[in-house]
């Protein structure tokens, strides 16, 4: 089998196509969750905890150029090393929300799956039962 035909068989398998669709939808869904966290949840959390801006929560590991605004964006553009724990907190919150939504989706999908009832063997017809009895009596 040639490499071209092997690759074609691999690439066109249903599982590979399902995986590709899942990755694409997952990336789009990740952007939705990012927007939900950054544009809706974090401003509310910031307001509740006293107006903190989580994007500007960082610790400088070195001094930057003089006269530079002490904001995360300005210091990052200047190449100043920082521990951006506010950004990390936002990403952790994104992950928790995404994991919870996926949990709910899987739970719902499991509910929607039809469970196959256990196959109970049906009683054989009366003729078959009589024939078995005759067979067994002849064996004696």
Q: What is the mean pLDDT of residues 9-22?
A: 76
Residue 87 lies in a domain: yes
Residue 129 lies in a domain: no
Residue 134 lies in a domain: no
Residue 126 lies in a domain: no
Q: Which domain holds residue 103?
A: 3-118
Residue 125 lies in a domain: no
- In sequence order, the 6+-apart residues with CB closer than 8 A to the CB of 94 are 30, 33, 34, 37
CB atoms within 10 A of CB 71: 13
- In sequence order, the 6+-apart residues with CB closer than 8 A to the CB of 93 are 37, 41, 42
* pTM of the predicted protein model: 0.55
Q: What is the CATH number of the domain that holds 14?
A: 1.10.1200.120
- Total number of domains constituting the chain: 1
Q: What is the mean pLDDT of residues 12-40?
A: 82
- In this predicted structure, what is the pLDDT of residue 81? 92
55, 87 Cβ separation under 8 angstroms: yes
Measure the CA–CA gap between 2 and 9, rounded to whole angstroms: 11
The 10s digit of each residue's pLDDT in 33-43 is 888 887 888 78
Residue 132 lies in a domain: no
């Amino acid at each position: 089998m040639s490499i071209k035909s092997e690759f074609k068989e691999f690439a066109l398998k249903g599982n590979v196509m399902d995986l590709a669709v899942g990755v694409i939808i997952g990336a789009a869904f990740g952007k939705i969750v990012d927007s939900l966290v950054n544009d809706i949840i974090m401003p509310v959390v910031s307001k509740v905890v006293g107006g903190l801006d989580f994007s500007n929560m960082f610790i400088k590991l070195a001094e930057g150029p003089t006269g530079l605004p002490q904001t995360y964006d300005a210091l990052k553009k200047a190449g100043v090393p920082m521990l951006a724990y506010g950004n990390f907190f936002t990403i952790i919150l994104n992950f928790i929300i995404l994991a919870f939504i996926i949990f709910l989706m899987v739970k719902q999908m499991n509910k929607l799956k039809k469970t196959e009832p256990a196959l109970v063997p049906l009683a054989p017809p009366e003729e078959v039962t009589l024939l078995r009895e005759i067979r067994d009596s002849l064996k004696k």
